[in-house]
Amino acid sequence: MVGLQPSEVPPTTVVKFLGAGAAACFADLLTFPLDTAKVRLQIQGENPGAQSVQYRGVLGTILTMVRTEGPRSPYSGLVAGLHRQMSFASIRIGLYDSVKQFYTPKGEDHSSIAIRILAGCTTGAMAVTCAQPTDVVKVRFQAMIRLGTGGERKYRGTMDAYRTIAREEGVRGLWKDNFPCHFVSAFGAGFCATVVASPVDVVKTRYMNAPPGRYRSPLHCMLKMVAQEGPTAFYKGFMPSFLRLGAWNVMMFVTYEQLKRALMKVQVLRESPF
């Protein structure tokens, strides 16, 4: 048997919401080391005097992390990453059809391109707003270098990280990002998307991970990075970002379709009188 046969009953909003979040979590589990490698490469060179480990390439970065920090290090921040997917993907993907239908005038069978863009912008904005604290915590864990088994860690766990950031940097610290940067990086797919989104993604990662006072704003972060490292710094972590983007989207959407069919099949069987 190859997969589940499509149900004739259209999936409900709840099914799409839960299915999108679960599928995104599954994709994250399989591609998370690439995301961690991307973060390590993006912040490399930001503070040369404080960094004792140098990373080279995707595989080299992951192997260096495993050798110096242990086999679990590529998955540092995974819990926050799963929190992010359950909040971000569930809203951005799971609610898209419902929001699109809400914007579509009554009596029209098809939504215009403008309506689809508006629906995408709406769910994207909602997703970024809800998921931002999880992204900040995820990046902090991924960027944290812990050498040796007794290496010191600033946060005892994911929930402690949320509390510590809120206590030390204020609630705004959990929403530490430039909204346009994060919003732009959510659009597109493939090589072209990585080329366009990489500069804002690097700035976003550094700004999120920076201690209070290092950067006055995302723009200051960008200008300082260019002055110290040159324009090529905008494309640090490009390869793991590109590899993860393709793999993540394939895994996520294949899993999403199967989950929708499975959940609807279960719902139909539960509602059947026989």
Mean pLDDT over 105-120 rounds to 88
**Lowest-pLDDT choice from 44-58, 149-163, 166-180, 200-214:** 44-58
Using alpha carbons, select from 208, 224, 169, 258 the residue that is nearest to residue 46: 224
Asked if the model's pLDDT at residue 148 lies above 70, the reply is no
- Write out the two tokens for 239: 């390869």
Of 31, 231, 270, 262, the C-alpha closest to 142 is 31
**Cβ contact 159:104 at 8 Å:** no
Say what the pTM is: 0.84
Q: Please, which pLDDT band fits residue 188 given cuts at 50, 70 and 90?
A: very low
Mean pLDDT of all residues in 236-249: 90
pLDDT at residue 142, rounded to an integer: 94
User: Could you tell me if 4 and 261 are in contact, meaning their C-beta atoms sit under 8 angstroms apart?
Assistant: yes
Q: Please, is 2 exposed, middle or buried when counting C-beta atoms within 10 Å of its C-beta (0-12, 13-18, 19+)?
A: exposed
| Percent with pLDDT over 70 in the chain | 84
**Half-sphere CA count of 9, side-chain side, radius 13 A:** 17
* DSSP-based three-state secondary structure for 87: helix
- pLDDT grade for 78, boundaries at 50, 70 and 90: very high
Residue 187 clears pLDDT 60, i.e. is over it:
no
Q: What are phi and psi of 103, to 5 degrees?
A: -80, -20
State what percent of residues in the chain have pLDDT above 90: 58
Judge whether residue 246 has pLDDT over 90.
Answer: no
pLDDT at 202: 93
Q: Work out the angle at residue 200's Cα, subtended by the Cα atoms of residues 192 and 226, and round it to the nearest 5 degrees.
A: 110
Say yes or no to pLDDT of 24 above 50: yes
74 band by pLDDT with thresholds 50, 70 and 90: very high
Would you say residue 180 has pLDDT above 60? Answer: no
Element (H, E) at 218: helix 218-229
Going from the C-alpha of 55 to that of each of 63, 139, 146, 148, 255, the distances in angstroms are 9, 17, 15, 17, 33
Mean of the pLDDT values across residues 84-112? 91
Contact between residue 80 and residue 161 where contact means Cβ atoms under 8 Å apart: yes
Estimate to the nearest angstrom the gap between the alpha carbon of 260 and the chain centroid: 22
Tell me which residue has tokens 């992390």.
65
List, for residues 34-52, the tens digit of each pLDDT value: 999 999 999 998 876 556 6
- 67, two tokens: 């050798």
Round to whole Å and give the CA distance between 127 and 86: 10
Asked if 241 and 193 touch (Cβ cutoff 8 Å), the reply is no
Tokens of 29: 């589990």
pLDDT reported for residue 51? 60
Tokens of 178: 């430039």
Q: How many CB atoms lie within 10 A of CB 199?
A: 20
pLDDT confidence tier of residue 245, bands split at 50, 70 and 90:
confident
* 150: pLDDT strictly greater than 90: no
